[in-house]
Structure 1
Amino acid sequence: MQTFFKRLLQHRDDLSTLEKQVLDFFVQNPERVLQVKLDELSKDLFVSTATISRTCQQIGFQGFQDFKYALGKNKEQEEENSITKPSSFFPAHKKRFIKDLELTLSYIDENKIEKVANEIHQSTHVELFGMGNSLPPCVDAAKKLMLAGKICNAREDWDELKSVASIMGSNDLAILVSNSGETKNMLQFADILKDRNVKTVAITGRHHNQLQEKVHLSLHTHITTAYFGELDMCSRFPLSLVLDFIILAYLKKVKDY
């Protein structure tokens, strides 16, 4: 459940002392959380049921039951997608990759792809924002667009990304690429870009995330959660796939012009 809890912990600095205590208990005792009712958990933590419910709302859920349901579904998915079982090691890899490919292709919206390609064509400068494992697809896409004659960058340094977001304008385009769509820094970039009236596009690996609510246009992929011990083995190729479709549509548009 590393990815699930990592996403939740990004909200920790925004919580009160009691709410931090509740969140820490969630992270450290997921099995207990799945087993108990709200009033029982309240007694375990020596906090009110209202504090627990408020904590769940602060980290993006409607309440405790909504959080508990998401936690259970995440646990089921993690067990289903386990790639450490010797008897199903390679079949599990193959099944995961095929699933990510097929579902991502099924999510492709040609109208949205054309809209993004058109925005690239009309923009003075294109900046791709990606962090961690989502950065390489951005670097690859930026190189392709540069070779096609479009001014485009994908930067690695967080401070540099923040500075770039702060100087972009209404004639520019920002493409924000994030598996979870919940990374705190990416959400901050999106807010800065919105304040500066920059056209924004999000490409994410999960549906119903905060990032998609902050941009003008959102595209989705499917990325299966997969860990080998503590190592994140989620493949980001679906993000590259969508970026390639966008670039191909852009190249066709340039040729038609």
Structure 2
Amino acid sequence: MNIPAMPPLVKIRSERDQMSAIERRIADFILENAHLLRDYSSQQLASALGVSQSSVVKFSQKFGFRGYPDLKYSIGQALARNGGDAPAGAPPETDDAYVRLEEGLRRSKTAAEEETRLINPRERIEAIVGLVDGAGKVFVCGLGDDGLFAREFAMRLSLLGVLTVHHADPILMMANLSAARPGDVLLLFSEFGQLPQLCQLSRQFQACEGKVVSITRHTANPLRAHADATLVVSAHDPAPHVAQLLYRSSLQYLLDFLFVLLCQANPDRHRQLNINLERIQHLLDS
């Protein structure tokens, strides 16, 4: 049996946004009814969803399984290891609405952060750390809510002694690209990766022989497609406002880990961080 290293429900959820309409229908049923899947044959599942049996089989094979029975078995094993039949993000069974909301959000955040960790493999993260640490300058840009994360991360890079150019205005950033040199890095924050201004910035920066790192949702999008390296975030929930919270939480986790790795990768950076933090504290105390 060929079972992928990534837990099957995590893999399915993280890939959902890149699926076809039929695949999403199958995925949503499996994610919402994982604990009932043992009672369904491939034909019964296909009939319940109004799709062909071959679609169910192909869906299973897409995730590295020989067929639907292997997928069903793997999901059952994963649920058993997790200590029960409830999905990771399922709220506890209680009549107290406050407790349901609190525990449900906590579980959903934990699941989203774990999915985000799994879809950003170590080799990819370490390569991006190497790019940033070795860059002469790091340009950072994000618009709207993405701009808040871009600004904070640019500040953290500055504390490490990285020469950072940050703008929340793509026109000002475009003007600053005249200072870009080969080996410089551009970090572009864009949740959905669709903004044409950022895509244009990416092309112009690469024309200067710089490296572009995109930070987006784990979806097929033009910014991610043309970047030299990518960080991706998994955050799914039926309620849009909760999905947005999960995105912010998972993105913050990812950036925090990247920052910690940068601190450890270069002792000189770590020393500069301590010096800068001490200077800031003196300024606050004066």
By the TM > 0.5 criterion, same fold? yes
How far is the alpha carbon of 1:151 from its aligned partner?
Answer: 0.8
For the residue of structure 2 that corresponds to 1:236, the secondary structure is helix
Larger RCO of the pair (alpha carbons < 8 Å, separation 6+): 1
Name the CA shift for 1:252/1:111 in 2 (closer, same or farther; >3 Å).
same
The aligned residue for residue 114 of structure 1 is 126
Aligned to 1:221: 233
**Count of equivalent residues:** 188
Deviation at 1:173, TM superposition (A): 0.6
Q: In the alignment, which residue of structure 2 is the partner of 1:160?
A: 172
Indicate conservation of the 8 Å contact 1:124/1:151, yes or no. Answer: yes
Amino acid corresponding to residue 233 of structure 2 in structure 1: T
Task: Give the Å deviation of 1:213.
Answer: 1.5
**Aligned equivalents of 1:253 and 1:98: distance in 2?**
27
Is 1:138 the counterpart of 2:188? The answer is no
Q: Secondary structure at the match of 1:238?
A: helix
For the aligned residue pairs, the C-alpha RMSD in angstroms reads: 3.5
Aligned-partner Cα distance in 2 for 1:69–1:191? 34
Residue correspondence of structure 1 range 222-241 to structure 2 within 5 A: 222-224=234-236, 226-228=239-241, 233=245, 235-241=247-253
Question: How big is the shift at 1:70?
Answer: 8.8
Match of 1:182 among 167, 177, 194: 194
Worse-superposed segment, 184-193 or 90-99: 90-99
TM-score by length of 2: 0.55
Partner of 2:222: 210
Give 1:243's aligned amino acid: L
Query: CA 1:126–1:109 in 2, change beyond 3 Å: closer, same or farther?
Result: same
Report the Cα offset of residue 234 of structure 1: 5.2
Question: Which one of the candidate residues 249, 254, 257 is aligned to 2:266?
Answer: 254
| Residue 245 (structure 1) aligns with | 257
Counterpart AA for 2:222: Q
Deviation digits for residues 68-109 of structure 1 (CA, Å, limit 9, x no counterpart): 659979999xx999xxxx955434423331221111122232
Measured after TM superposition, the shift of residue 142 of structure 1 is 1.3
Q: Is the 8 A contact 1:181 1:206 kept in 2?
A: no
SS at match of 1:150: coil
| Aligned residue type for 1:237 | S
Once residues 160 and 167 of structure 2 are traced to their aligned partners in structure 1, the CA distance between those partners, rounded to angstroms, is 19
Identity %: 18
Contact map agreement 1:187 1:211 (CA 8 A) in 2? yes
Matches within 5 A, 1:45-84: none
Q: For structure 1, which segment, 213-222 or 150-159, has the greater mean C-alpha deviation from structure 2 after superposition?
A: 150-159
Distance in 1 (CA, whole Å) between partners of 2:204 and 2:267 is: 34
Which amino acid in 1 is paired with 2:146? S
